[in-house]
Amino acid sequence: MERDQLRDGHGRTIGDLRLSVTDRCNFRCQYCMPAEGLPWLDRAGVLTFEEIERLVGVFASLGVRDVRLTGGEPLVRKDFPSLAAMLAPLVDDLSVTTNGYLLERDAKALVDAGVNRFNVSIDSLQRDRFFEMTRRDSLPQVLRGLETLAAFPEAHPIKVNAVALRGFTEDEVLPFARFAREHPYEVRFIEFMPLDGDRNWDRDKVLPGDELRAAIHAVFPLEPMPREPSATARVYRFADGQGKIGFINPLSEPFCGDCNRIRITADGKLRTCLFSVGETDLREPLRTGASDDDLERIIREAVWRKELKHHVNEPGFVQPLRTMSAIGG
Ligand code: SAM
Ligand code: SF4
């Protein structure tokens, strides 16, 4: 039975759940994870497929229609396409964010399972620079994965995400603009956020989306497209009609005002903001016989307290203990 839509205490309706299926990853991106990895969650502590299915069912009954599966790297979780097949019937939109390394193997199974949107993360189109950023020499493998996915029209439009870092991305921006013009991919640049495992984030390393946009516009003129409600990206089309490009500017142009997102970590903690310093445990209630009504009450109370906005731009900002890969970006 459909209940009242999930809302927070600031009048925002919550309809988008990002669910991490693992904190593990086969890459070690500089802006996310240390070279040696992180202390992984104990496998017994990670939600099972059945627990995830039950939670998604409860969220769907509260009006959550969009679910994005992420990680860590979601495709390293064993039998991940089977999990996608369990969840797809519960929601309108089931999407996956991946580094693309295993897409050549899994794209078909994921599309068949009902995943209808994909974000593939690529920070450089040059092999040596891709290696430098991800600490893996895997650009050819990732591009093969992207092509395998692109062969499925149901998976379009495919989004390609690049984290923008000062001193690195300036040289990538025009090759990515050409890539977006020549392929059916919407490339989106994401500002570097203080969620890295090495805790090396520094304001000077943030490359604001406006700078990238101006660099592209000088060569390939851009026209703004209307912003969808609750969207993270500001999307532009190339004035000659060939392709689109987007900018996710959480620091220079925060979009907290109409944020409709919440997150669940691989160990079942509900987080109401990427930058939350507190979280609400759903795993223990799940494992100790909570009813759906009990879960609904816990979720509603936590979501009601969703943060009004992030405080990254304010003095005294505290980086959350969990890093991006442990939260589920
Ligand atoms: N492993 C998958 C991937 O890389 O797409 C999914 C998880 S990853 C944490 C999700 C997204 O977060 C990726 O697009 C990644 O580039 C981005 N990301 C990771 N750390 C970030 C940071 N410190 N600032 C901004 N974006 C970050
Ligand atoms: Fe892994 Fe994604 Fe983090 Fe890179 S950004 S280390 S691929 S979780």
Dihedral angle over CA of 259, 159, 214, 167, nearest 10: 100
Residue appearing with tokens 């009006």: 63
Q: Which of 20, 122, 265, 325 to mutate to test the pocket of ligand 2 (most atoms within 8 A of CB)?
A: 325
Neighbour count for residue 270 (Cβ, 10 Å): 21
Q: What is the DSSP string of 222-238?
A: EEE-PPPTT-SEEEEEE
Q: Is-contact 240 222, C-beta < 8 A? A: no
What pTM value is reported for the model?
0.96
Annotated binding site for S-adenosyl-L-methionine: 31, 72, 121, 193
What local confidence, expressed as pLDDT, does residue 329 receive? 82
**8 Å CB contact between 10 and 67:** no
Give pLDDT tens digits for 123-152. 999 999 999 999 999 999 999 999 999 999
Helix (H, G, I), strand (E, B) or coil at 190: strand
Q: Which ligand is nearest to the CA of 29?
A: 2
Minimum-distance ligand to the CA of 38? 2
Domain 16-327, what fold? TIM Barrel (3.20.20)
Q: Which atom from ligand 1 is nearest to the alpha carbon of 201? A: 23
Tokens 């809302």, residue located: 7
Q: How far apart are CA 297 and CA 175, in angstroms?
A: 49
Q: What DSSP string describes 32-84? A: TS-TT---PPPGGGSPPHHHHHHHHHHHHHTT--EEEEESS-GGGSTTHHHHH
* 121 Cβ neighbours under 8 A, 6+ residues apart: 29, 97, 98, 99, 100, 160, 161, 162, 163
- What is the bridge-based pairing of β-strands 261-264 and 269-271? antiparallel
How do residues 263-315 score in pLDDT, each as one tens digit? 999 999 999 999 998 999 999 999 999 999 999 999 999 999 999 899 888 88
Cβ-based burial of 319 (10 A; exposed 0-12, middle 13-18, buried ≥19):
middle
Q: Which atom of ligand 2 is nearest to the CA of 101?
A: 7
- Alpha carbons within 13 angstroms on the beta-carbon side of residue 125 total 15
- Answer for the pair 216, 177: CB distance below 8 angstroms, yes or no: yes
Q: What is the mean pLDDT of the chain?
A: 95
Joined together, the tokens standing for residue 309 give 């906005």
Task: Delimit the domains of the chain by residue range.
Answer: 16-327
Q: Which atom of ligand 1 is nearest to the CA of 31?
A: 23
What pLDDT, in 10s, does the model give residues 79-97? 999 999 999 999 999 999 9
Confidence bin at 259 (pLDDT 50/70/90):
very high
